[in-house]
Amino acid sequence: MVIKICIACGVIVVIIKNKNKMKIIFLDIDGVLNHQLWFKSQKDKRVDTDLKYNRSMIDETRVELLNDLIKCTGAKVVISSSWRKNYTVKELQTILEDKGFKGEIIGLTPVLRFTGLKDYIYSVPRGNEIKAWLETNKGILNNKMSKVPYVILDDDSDMLLWQRENFFWVDPYCGLTPNIIYKAKRFLGVQK
């Protein structure tokens, strides 16, 4: 809380600042919660790893790391993975919970397409889709887009230049690591 007094008129102004800003994790799934090492380890278990968006294709050990980030920061999850094209928020919540997820998914980034030339549709960088979600959810975030504390966990890198500090690139060979979680925690203001 900040109290300001106007010397000229003696008016006391009390400004209440909400320090509990909602923190957001924009989460990719392929290459983050599953990865090449995991796929290799599953080959003997007869999991059909060729099937895209197969709900069993999630490494529980990487979900545990994600849980640690959520527990320490209180961040909510927005799915930016292409899995959002096949599942609803509720379905994704269940899929991840089946793998031990303890957080809350509050949304999906929009799927944007840009038609610039006649009969040609461009895909839009993921960073723009994240920007669009932040812009359209200012209300629930109770914050300007530029002030929202958020991190992006993704093995692709088509983010916007001004998102570079929020973006934590994940190596799809091994997925999420404790090192990335440590850095993301610090970025979201947790010093442990």
Please write down the long-range contacts of 160-166, taking CB distance under 8 Å and 24 or more positions apart. 160/125, 160/127, 160/128, 160/130, 160/131, 163/127, 163/130, 163/131
The residue of the chain with the least Cβ separation from Mg ion equals 31
- Under the binding rule (CB under 5 A), the answer on residue 129 touching Mg ion is no
**Contact, 150 vs 23, CB < 8 A?**
yes
- Under the binding rule (CB under 5 A), the answer on residue 31 touching Mg ion is yes
Nearest approach in angstroms of CB 33 to Mg ion is: 9
* Contact stretch for Mg ion (CB under 5 A) within 29-37, 113-121, 128-136, 183-191: 29-37
Nearest approach in angstroms of CB 141 to Mg ion is: 24
**Contact, 18 vs 147, CB < 8 A?**
no
* Contact stretch for Mg ion (CB under 5 A) within 26-34, 98-106, 116-124, 136-144: 26-34
Read off the DSSP letter of residue 23. P
- State which amino acid sits at residue 47: V
Q: Which is nearer to Mg ion, 141 or 181 (CB)?
A: 181
Nearest approach in angstroms of CB 170 to Mg ion is: 8
According to CB under 5 A, which one of 155, 160, 169, 182 is a site residue for Mg ion? 155
According to CB under 5 A, which one of 30, 69, 163, 168 is a site residue for Mg ion? 30
Q: Which is nearer to Mg ion, 128 or 141 (CB)?
A: 128
> Do β-strands 120-123 and 113-117 pair in parallel, antiparallel, or remain unpaired?
antiparallel
- Under the binding rule (CB under 5 A), the answer on residue 59 touching Mg ion is no
- Under the binding rule (CB under 5 A), the answer on residue 28 touching Mg ion is yes
Q: End-to-end CA distance of the chain: give it in Å, rounded.
A: 26
Count the site residues for Mg ion by CB under 5 A.
4
> Which residue do the tokens 């090492």 mark?
37
Q: Which is nearer to Mg ion, 36 or 136 (CB)?
A: 36
* Inter-CA distances, 157 with 21, 57, 59, 117, Å: 26, 22, 22, 25
Q: Is 145 exposed, middle or buried (0-12, 13-18, 19+ CB in 10 A)?
A: middle
Query: Which residues form the interface with Mg ion (CB under 5 A)?
Result: 28, 30-31, 155
